[in-house]
């Protein structure tokens, strides 16, 4: 299955993974658990201390506001979006009318996250080590399994004891308790239009805006009421937490804990970096679905290769398989041109 291309099909849940170059999603010293700026539903009064001319966002707030702002401009149904120390696990469910929104949504979201984190840590350079690797979930069982995997990732990585106490960005509190995912950001464009720092009394905090990140329930939950979905998510999370707790107790080990995480530097690289394994072609509880998808994948891949060759050779009206992208427009020189 070499030559991986990105294929989007509507109404299918896609589970993703993306690594960072370092411990990007850790925290600055002032982002302690008791700091209200760390939490999603921070009250407005917490953002307005007497001498706070420029409120400083937390890493959590940067990720949340970036996703919400990208979603406002390029709507894509988000089923989950979880962060860990040096990687994130997104989940999306594109609809028929959203396929063209996926690329610009991901581009804007990652750009806003990277710029916000670099500004917070006063640094430069790439935040992410590569694009998000998305894998389709072909049935309801595999989609729910990937949701729980993403939500409980910090627990299984032995960083915290419970998902609820994780200090990382997470949609868990919304999915398990119905809490709104509200974040804020400074509209710097409007600030500059009003004169920026040249205008006396033009305070950045006066251009603070709130946004809310909507989460779409999995198709597996059908028409379930919200309380039933939340109960299911809480139960599945507790199962993983208890399994991890028993395993660590047997091995005589403990989790890193939130206090331990705050002793680490976001700019450090872990001593033992996990290497990403081969990306699965799909997720499916039913092996027959997996075989059928592999067959269709080979056909799409072959058709895309042929279309790419024609496109690069000058046949720009060449059609591509639905849900795929054209390659960059470059010129291919053959031996007759040399």
CATH of residue 197's domain is: 3.30.70.1290
Give the pLDDT mean for 77-82. Answer: 97
Asked if residue 332 and residue 262 are part of one domain, the reply reads no
Question: What's the Cα-to-Cα distance from 78 to each of 41, 99, 220, 291, rounded to whole Å?
Answer: 19, 13, 15, 27
Confidence of residue 222 (pLDDT cuts 50, 70, 90): confident
Asked if residue 167 and residue 250 are part of one domain, the reply reads yes
Asked if residue 190 and residue 41 are part of one domain, the reply reads yes
Asked if residue 119 and residue 188 are part of one domain, the reply reads yes
Give the pLDDT mean for 231-254. Answer: 95
Residue 315 CA to residue 106 CA, distance in Å, equals 29
Nearest alpha carbon to residue 267 among 172, 127, 171:
127
Asked if residue 310 and residue 213 are part of one domain, the reply reads no
Q: Which of 285, 312, 327 is the last residue of a domain?
A: 285
Whether 118 shows a pLDDT value over 60: the answer reads yes
Question: What's the Cα-to-Cα distance from 69 to each of 45, 91, 187, 323, rounded to whole Å?
Answer: 22, 17, 11, 24
pLDDT digits (tens, 9 = 90+) for 5-52: 788 999 999 999 999 988 888 876 555 544 444 444 454 445 444 344
Q: Is there a domain that residue 36 lies in?
A: yes
* pLDDT, greater one: 215 or 305: 215
Total count of domains within the chain: 2
C-alpha Rg value of the chain to the nearest Å: 22
DSSP β-bridge partners for residue 87: 19
DSSP β-bridge partners for residue 19: 87
Q: For residue 229, what pLDDT is reported?
A: 96
User: What integer best gives the mean pLDDT of the chain?
Assistant: 85
Confidence of residue 53 (pLDDT cuts 50, 70, 90): low
Q: Is there a domain that residue 6 lies in?
A: no
Percentage of residues in the chain having pLDDT higher than 90: 54
Asked if residue 325 and residue 186 are part of one domain, the reply reads no
Q: What is the pTM of this model?
A: 0.84
Asked if residue 263 and residue 334 are part of one domain, the reply reads no
Q: Is there a domain that residue 268 lies in?
A: yes
Q: Which of 258, 285, 312 is the last residue of a domain?
A: 285
Asked if residue 251 and residue 169 are part of one domain, the reply reads yes
Asked if residue 171 and residue 77 are part of one domain, the reply reads yes
Which of 24-28, 34-38, 68-72, 144-148 shows the lowest mean pLDDT across its residues? 34-38
Asked if residue 227 and residue 79 are part of one domain, the reply reads yes
Q: Which of 270, 285, 300 is the last residue of a domain?
A: 285
Asked if residue 246 and residue 302 are part of one domain, the reply reads no
Q: Is there a domain that residue 4 lies in?
A: no
* β-strands 87-92, 78-83 pairing: antiparallel
Q: For residue 18, what pLDDT is reported?
A: 94
* 106-139 burial: b if 16+ Cβ within 10 Å, else e: bebbbebbbebbeebbeeeeebbeeebebbbbbb
* pLDDT, greater one: 35 or 140: 140
* pLDDT, greater one: 198 or 226: 226
Which structural domain, as residue segments, surrounds residue 113?
13-285
Residue 107 CA to residue 60 CA, distance in Å, equals 19
Asked if residue 294 and residue 272 are part of one domain, the reply reads no
Question: What's the Cα-to-Cα distance from 101 to each of 58, 106, 114, 212, 309, rounded to whole Å?
Answer: 27, 9, 20, 19, 26
Helix axis angle for 59-73 and 102-121, nearest 10°, is 150
């Amino acid at each position: 299955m070499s030559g991986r291309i990105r294929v989007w099909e509507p109404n299918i849940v896609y589970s993703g993974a993306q690594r960072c170059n370092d411990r990007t999603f850790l925290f600055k010293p002032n982002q302690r658990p008791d700091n209200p700026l760390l939490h999603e539903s921070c009250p407005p009064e917490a953002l307005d201390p007497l001498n706070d001319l420029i409120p400083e966002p937390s890493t959590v707030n940067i990720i949340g506001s970036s996703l919400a702002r990208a979603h406002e401009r390029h709507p894509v149904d988000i089923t989950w979006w979880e962060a860990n120390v040096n990687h994130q696990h997104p989940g999306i469910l594109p609809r028929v009318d959203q396929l063209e929104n996926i690329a610009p949504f991901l581009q804007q979201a990652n750009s806003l996250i990277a710029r916000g984190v670099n500004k917070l840590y006063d640094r430069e350079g790439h935040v992410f080590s590569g694009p998000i690797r998305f894998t389709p979930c072909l049935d309801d069982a595999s989609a729910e399994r990937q949701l729980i995997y993403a939500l409980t990732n910090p627990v299984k990585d032995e960083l915290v004891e419970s998902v609820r106490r994780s200090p990382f960005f997470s949609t868990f509190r919304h999915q398990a308790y119905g809490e709104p995912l509200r974040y804020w950001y400074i509209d710097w464009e409007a600030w500059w239009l009003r004169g920026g720092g040249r205008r006396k009394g033009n305070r950045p905090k006066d251009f603070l805006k709130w946004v809310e990140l909507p989460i779409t329930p999995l198709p597996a939950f059908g028409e379930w009421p919200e309380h039933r979905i939340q109960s299911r998510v809480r139960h599945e999370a507790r199962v993983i937490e208890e399994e991890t707790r028993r395993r660590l107790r047997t091995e005589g080990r403990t989790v890193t804990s939130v206090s331990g995480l705050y002793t680490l530097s976001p700019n450090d690289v872990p001593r033992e970096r996990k290497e990403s394994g081969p990306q699965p072609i799909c997720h499916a509880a039913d092996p027959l679905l997996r075989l059928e998808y592999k067959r269709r994948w080979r056909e799409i891949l072959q058709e895309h290769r042929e279309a790419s060759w024609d496109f690069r050779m000058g046949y720009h009206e060449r059609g591509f398989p639905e849900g795929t992208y054209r390659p960059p427009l470059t010129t291919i020189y053959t031996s007759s041109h040399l």
